[in-house]
């Protein structure tokens, strides 16, 4: 890995995104709109306070998963990835470039969504708002890494979009948004212990109820470890030589 | 002057799944020449080129590129490769495409201007790659291969879809590059491009069926043009294969 090449790749990805202002707009505005809708639906009930934080974590995860899986699939299909891999670009530079570029986008998205939820929709947060942003950003990175990995197992855009429900939906269902994980059947509880989103939802709930910051960071570390694991697996799918 | 070959391959076999694509191919590309790799589509030209640049695993045989085994990491700076698919970023401008690949190669910043001039894209350099014509896009792809002044250029059908005037211009560029010491391996399925090469390799069904100069090929087959020479060679090869089978 070479920092100059990693940054050049990140700059290239961001330039590509910049040429697509509609995507940037959707990326920043849609989560806020949906959070606003949620707050409105559950007006006068405590529900928004309970699921709002989890929503803040889910959006960057889902959106970054989609964006990354489709862009990297395009790189694989158009031949630009093959071209890069016969040049002196490290696999780490490629993945790192994407992580930096989409990490920045995820940060921007998280800032807009958190600010809107807290100051626009009156979401009550006992803990630090910055911790909320941190969890959201790490979730975005997790989505990016899983998206990179998923793109290796898809040959068309249709397939890669179908991976979204496969990878995302079970994590949301089992993550404890609908029912606290302690009240699920034991088998499902064990499965949810192995899903990264469970830890981010746990962290978001802790921030909301003003729980221990150390515990929140512990959860964040677990999510980051999953992201790192996905990164390593994704790097293995980048082959300089095809069979 | 360096007289060792730019590419020396012996007995290259490539098998993908159950199909064998190359059946023991020998390739010799002398340094500083333009070598044409000709043959019908599906003959294995692209696979052979990808094996030479180190992107295709070989089942057996050896490939030496610029004196090192194919795929060696030090070769990455010395090879220029243009694939058949236009591998450029559609959502970047022509200039931005060149600048990014140039940075990856560590090529001097002035290379972008040089290459834009060489492939004649000055008028569209600030346009997005998705907004220019197909011929222009393929020239962006060629331009990327020229960045960093590589010693060996491997170009997979660089002139496909271009009008005759542009084809002429590109072949003149190839000749200039060879004069300056670059070795070029250029594939094509248009036989009239054959006469512009210093040497020709004819590929058919995963085998090299001729390795000669353009004039030598005409003399050997008694044909009046390369189209005919190629057809005669193919016929001869097919007949030999039938006799083998019988």
pLDDT of B17-51, one tens digit each? 899 999 999 999 999 999 999 988 889 999 999 99
Flag if A78 and B87 touch (Cβ within 8 Å).
yes
Q: Which residues of B touch A241 (CB under 8 A)?
A: 54-57, 71
d(CA B49, CA B66): 15
pLDDT of B185-213, one tens digit each? 999 878 778 889 999 999 999 999 999 99
Q: Measured in whole angstroms, how far is the alpha carbon of residue A14 from the centre of its chain?
A: 17
Query: What is the pLDDT at residue B115?
Result: 96
d(CA B198, CA B195): 8
Name the residue facing B79 among A79, A86, A243 (closest C-beta): A86
Mutate to test the interface with B, among A83, A84, A90, A92 (most CBs of B within 10 A): A83
Flag if A88 and B103 touch (Cβ within 8 Å).
no
Judged on CB neighbours under 10 Å (0-12, 13-18, 19+), B19 is: exposed
Q: Confidence band (pLDDT; 50, 70, 90) for B161? A: confident
Please name the residues in contact with A51: beta carbons below 8 A apart, sequence gap of 6 or more: A38, A177
Whether the predicted pLDDT of B1 surpasses 70: no
In this prediction the pTM is 0.90
Phi, psi of A132 (to 5 degrees): -60, -45
Chain B residues at the A interface, defined by Cβ less than 8 Å, are 16, 50, 53-57, 71, 73, 76-77, 79, 81, 83, 85-92, 96, 100-101, 103-106, 128, 144
- Give me the residues of chain A with pLDDT under 70, please: none
Q: How far is CA A174 from CA A35, A59, A198, in A?
A: 21, 16, 7
Query: What is the pLDDT at residue B3?
Result: 59
pLDDT of A106-133, one tens digit each? 999 999 999 999 999 989 889 898 999 9
d(CA A48, CA A195): 24
pLDDT of B80-132, one tens digit each? 999 988 999 999 999 999 999 999 999 999 999 999 999 999 999 999 999 99
Flag if A12 and B100 touch (Cβ within 8 Å).
yes
Which residues in chain A (54-93) have CB-CB distances under 8 A to chain B? 78-80, 82-89
Q: Count of CB atoms within 10 A of residue B217's CB? A: 23
d(CA A157, CA A161): 6
Whether the predicted pLDDT of B2 surpasses 60: no
Buried (b) or exposed (e) across A145-165, using 16+ Cβ within 10 A?
bbbbbbbbebeeeeebeebbe
Buried (b) or exposed (e) across A118-134, using 16+ Cβ within 10 A?
beebebebebebebbbb
Mean pLDDT, chain B, rounded, equals: 92
């Amino acid at each position: 890995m070479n920092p100059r090449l990693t940054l050049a790749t990140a700059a290239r990805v961001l330039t590509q995104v910049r040429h697509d202002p509609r995507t940037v707009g959707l990326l920043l505005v849609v989560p806020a709109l949906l959070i606003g809708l949620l707050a409105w639906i559950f007006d006068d009930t405590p529900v928004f306070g309970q699921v709002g934080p989890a929503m803040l974590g889910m959006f960057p995860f889902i959106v970054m998963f989609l964006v990354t899986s489709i862009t990297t699939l395009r790189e694989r299909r158009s031949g630009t990835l093959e071209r890069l891999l016969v040049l002196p670009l490290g696999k780490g530079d490629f993945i790192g470039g994407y992580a930096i570029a989409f990490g920045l986008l995820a940060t921007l998205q998280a800032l807009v969504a958190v600010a809107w939820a807290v100051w626009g929709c009156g979401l009550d947060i006992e803990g630090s708002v910055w911790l909320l942003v941190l969890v959201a950003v790490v979730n975005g990175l997790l989505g990016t890494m899983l998206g990179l990995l998923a793109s290796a197992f898809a040959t068309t855009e249709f397939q890669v979009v179908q991976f979204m429900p496969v990878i995302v939906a079970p994590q949301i269902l089992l993550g404890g948004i609908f029912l606290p994980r302690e009240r699920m059947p034991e088998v499902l509880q064990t499965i949810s212990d192995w899903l990264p989103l469970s830890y981010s939802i746990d962290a978001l709930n802790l921030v909301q109820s003003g729980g221990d910051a150390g515990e929140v960071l512990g959860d964040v570390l677990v999510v980051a470890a999953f992201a790192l694991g996905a990164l390593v697996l994704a790097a293995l799918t980048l082959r300089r030589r095809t069979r | 002057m360096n007289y060792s070959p730019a590419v020396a391959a012996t007995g290259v076999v490539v098998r993908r799944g159950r199909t064998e694509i190359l059946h023991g191919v020998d390739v010799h590309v002398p340094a500083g020449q333009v070598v044409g790799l000709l043959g019908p589509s599906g003959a294995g030209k692209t696979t052979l080129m990808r094996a030479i640049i180190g992107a295709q695993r070989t089942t057996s045989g050896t490939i030496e590129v610029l004196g090192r085994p194919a795929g060696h990491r030090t070769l990455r700076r010395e090879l220029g490769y243009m694939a058949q698919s236009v591998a450029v970023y559609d959502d970047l401008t022509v200039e931005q495409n060149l600048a990014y690949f140039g940075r990856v190669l560590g090529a001097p910043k002035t290379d972008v201007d040089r290459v834009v001039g060489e492939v004649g894209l000055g008028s569209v350099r600030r346009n997005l790659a998705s907004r220019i014509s197909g011929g222009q896009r393929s020239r962006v792809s060629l331009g990327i291969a020229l960045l960093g002044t590589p010693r060996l250029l491997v170009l997979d059908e660089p002139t496909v879809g271009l009008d005759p005037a542009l084809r002429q211009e590109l072949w003149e560029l190839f000749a200039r590059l060879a004069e300056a010491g670059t070795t070029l391996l250029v594939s094509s399925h248009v036989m009239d491009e054959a006469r512009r090469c210093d040497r020709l390799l004819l590929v058919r069904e995963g085998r090299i069926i001729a390795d000669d100069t353009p004039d030598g090929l005409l003399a050997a087959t008694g044909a009046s043009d390369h189209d005919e020479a190629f057809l005669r060679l193919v016929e001869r090869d097919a007949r030999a294969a039938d006799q083998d089978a019988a």
